[in-house]
Amino acid sequence: MQFVKQVSLIVLGLILSTFFFSCNTGNSKEKKDSMKNSASYLSDLSDKSGFETTVDGKKTDLYILKNKNGAMATFTNYGGRIVSLLVPGKNDSLMNVVCGFKSVEDYQKSTEPYYGATIGRYGNRIAKGKFSLDGKQYSLFLNNGQNTLHGGKKGFQYQVWDAVQPDSNSVVFTRISTDMEEGYPGNLKVKVTYTLNNDNGLEMEYEATTDKNTVVNLTNHAYFNLNGEGSGTILNHEVKIFANSYTPIDSTLIPTGKIEPVANTPFDFRDFHTIGSRINDDNVQLKNGKGYDINLVLDSAKNDSLHLAAKVIGDQSGIEMTIYTDQPGLQFYSGNFMAGKNMFNNGIKDDFRTAFAMETQHYPDSPNEPSFPTTVLKPGEKYHSKSVYVFSVKK
């Protein structure tokens, strides 16, 4: 009798716990919220197992940077990518503000190739995949309609970089992009140094040299959500961009060659605006970009020392990102092509406009626009550029 009682109690317990468990999983918002910052997810971000593999005969790995405030950034040499960036939020709890995947395989399978990647040899678009240098015309692979985007078919995002980690704050990626790789002339020696400094700033420093005249435009394509990776729309993020003008584009997102004032356009972010407040305005440039996908001409464009480029604030987290760069332009992209086809680190899909990019760089199609700052690099010259993304919490 005693035994029968015990068995029925156990069965009752099982039924009740199954009932409560299914009620909980039914609440997907709560589940998402608890997943996006759960301790297990944050510690999973330093799990190297998905990154220790071989691509094109070269070893890939995950590199972990930490600073003295407990901030952490992870990188993989597959594409020279930033995989995650944990910065202190309110109450000093860490939050991952960069979207990424849990394995090299996920990056290879992704329908969006550029998550967190180092972009080159020429970041952004080159019209019809053609440019001339010293009287000779060069043709590139057309991977974006009739244009070339972010380097071509196998841009820097799909290359395995050599990596060294000189200290716990930085990782250095190097590679030689050989003469005519993806159609660009000259052997280009490239070095990218990512440093997580003790002011919670992520420094990105690019250096390159060539043995023939070529064009170079290097950047990083991190996708940010300052409310935390996978935490829903970025439309309520507040944005300020230190730019009085922008480069209007045609329907294929190639600049028309004009530089126009942002005044009285939805590209005027000289005061804070949410990303969403004007994104559906009746504006041909917004229609061309399917949202924000535009190059802003930074105010200090002619000054090649670090200058303030933009500030973005996560509406829920209060995390503020301040961007400094020595580059003349900033491509602001509001995640318009994100379509929920890939799964982030924390198991949440990359839905429409759940992340944005702010790529510090030269203007798109500069090789074909003589009036834009030059992107030509010659033998004996040194390409050098630096951007810093600093994170703090708005009280």
Residues that bind ligand GLA (CB under 6 A): 112, 114, 149, 253, 293, 331, 333, 337, 357
Residues 6+ apart with CB under 8 A from 23: none
Q: Which residue is nearest to ligand GLA (CB)?
A: 333
Annotated catalytic residue within 229, 359, 362, 369 = 359
Give the residue with the Cβ less far from ligand GLA, 149 or 393: 149
Alpha-carbon span 77 to 70, nearest angstrom = 23
User: Is 193 exposed, middle or buried (CB count within 10 Å of its CB: 0-12, 13-18, 19+)?
Assistant: middle
The CA-atom distances, in angstroms, between 344 and each of 100, 137, 231 are 6, 41, 11
Annotated catalytic residue within 150, 181, 203, 221 = 221
Beta bridge partners of residue 226, listed in sequence order: none
| Contact in structure between 71 and 295 (CB atoms under 8 Å) | no
The CA-atom distances, in angstroms, between 267 and each of 309, 336, 353 are 14, 16, 17
Minimum distance, C-beta of residue 149 to ligand GLA, in the bound complex (Å): 6
Minimum distance, C-beta of residue 355 to ligand GLA, in the bound complex (Å): 11
Give the residue with the Cβ less far from ligand GLA, 227 or 331: 331
Minimum distance, C-beta of residue 352 to ligand GLA, in the bound complex (Å): 12
Instruction: Assess whether 384 carries a catalytic annotation.
Output: no
Give the residue with the Cβ less far from ligand GLA, 133 or 343: 343
What are the backbone dihedrals phi and psi of residue 10, each rounded to the nearest 5 degrees, phi first? -60, -45
Give the residue with the Cβ less far from ligand GLA, 338 or 393: 338
Minimum distance, C-beta of residue 6 to ligand GLA, in the bound complex (Å): 60
The CA-atom distances, in angstroms, between 68 and each of 43, 92, 198, 241 are 17, 13, 6, 30
The CA-atom distances, in angstroms, between 235 and each of 273, 333, 354 are 10, 12, 8
Minimum distance, C-beta of residue 73 to ligand GLA, in the bound complex (Å): 21
Give the residue with the Cβ less far from ligand GLA, 289 or 314: 289
Instruction: Assess whether 221 carries a catalytic annotation.
Output: yes
| Contact in structure between 266 and 287 (CB atoms under 8 Å) | no
Residues 6+ apart with CB under 8 A from 299: 242, 243, 244, 307
Give the residue with the Cβ less far from ligand GLA, 41 or 356: 356
Beta bridge partners of residue 130, listed in sequence order: 139
Minimum distance, C-beta of residue 113 to ligand GLA, in the bound complex (Å): 8
Minimum distance, C-beta of residue 290 to ligand GLA, in the bound complex (Å): 8
Give the residue with the Cβ less far from ligand GLA, 37 or 331: 331
Find, among 167, 169, 166, 165, the residue nearest to 200 by Cα.
169
Give the residue with the Cβ less far from ligand GLA, 156 or 333: 333
Find, among 246, 234, 350, 328, the residue nearest to 293 by Cα.
246
Alpha-carbon span 373 to 304, nearest angstrom = 11
Find, among 296, 307, 320, 299, the residue nearest to 238 by Cα.
320
234: which 2 tokens? 């970025």
DSSP 63-111: EEEE-TTS-EEEEETBTTEEEEEEEE-GGG-EEE-B---SSHHHHHH-S
Minimum distance, C-beta of residue 156 to ligand GLA, in the bound complex (Å): 13
Query: Could you give the residue numbers annotated as active site?
Result: 221, 359
